[in-house]
Amino acid sequence: MPGTDVEALLRGSSLRVTRQRVAVLELLSEHPHADTDSVIRRVRESAGDISHQAVYDVLRALTDAGLLRRIQPAGSVARYEVRVGDNHHHVVCRSCGAIADVDCAVGDAPCLMASDDHGFVIDQAEVTYWGTCPDCSTARIA
């Protein structure tokens, strides 16, 4: 989303352009995988006073409009990202919780073919890789 006209993106999704929506989209383009508390804290630093409820409302509206993706790895709080619509996956550090994007493992969406679709029309696969990030791996060796 860097270099994207956030206001045009909001209008294109039939959303009103508000200071809060612009601030949240810009923040998440710079800090992908941020949790709600981080979004609240950082948006307040850049856009001034904003209530918790207002941030929750913005996150929900942007997610419903398809401008954000909400992810919640097992054992983690919900996190948000602006990278939407490409069926990418995530790798999560078991030690510190860091999250990074991983491009689709195999071909077109859905990346993985279910061994039995049980009659479902599958249009997305969600994969989470778990491991230890380079910083935590280095700390264990030291």
pLDDT at position 126 is: 80
pLDDT band at 112 (very low <50, low <70, confident <90, very high): low
CA distances to 7, 24, 28, 73 from 46, rounded to whole Å, are 17, 10, 13, 28
28 and 75 both lie in a single domain? yes
90 and 137 in a common domain: yes
pTM of the full structure: 0.83
Domain that holds residue 54: 6-79
Summarize pLDDT for 18-54 with one digit per residue, the tens: 999 999 999 999 999 999 999 999 999 988 889 999 9
Which CATH number goes with the domain that contains 137? 3.30.1490.190
Confidence of residue 2 (pLDDT cuts 50, 70, 90): very low
Please tell me whether residues 61 and 91 are part of one structural domain.
no
**What are the tokens at 32?**
């992908």
Q: Is the pLDDT of residue 108 over 50?
A: yes
Give the pLDDT confidence of 55-107 residue by residue, as tens digits.
999 999 999 999 999 999 988 899 999 999 887 889 999 999 999 999 876 55
Identify the pLDDT of residue 116. 84
Q: Kindly state whether residue 1 falls inside one of the protein's structural domains.
A: no
By the 8 A CB rule, do 30 and 43 touch? no
When divided into structural domains, the chain yields a total of 2
For residues 113-136, average pLDDT:
85
Q: Answer yes or no: do 116 and 133 share one domain.
A: yes
Reading across the β-sheet that carries 34-35, which strands appear in turn? Answer: 34-35, 79-81, 69-71
Determine the pLDDT at residue 3: 47
What is the predicted pLDDT for the residue at 141? 73
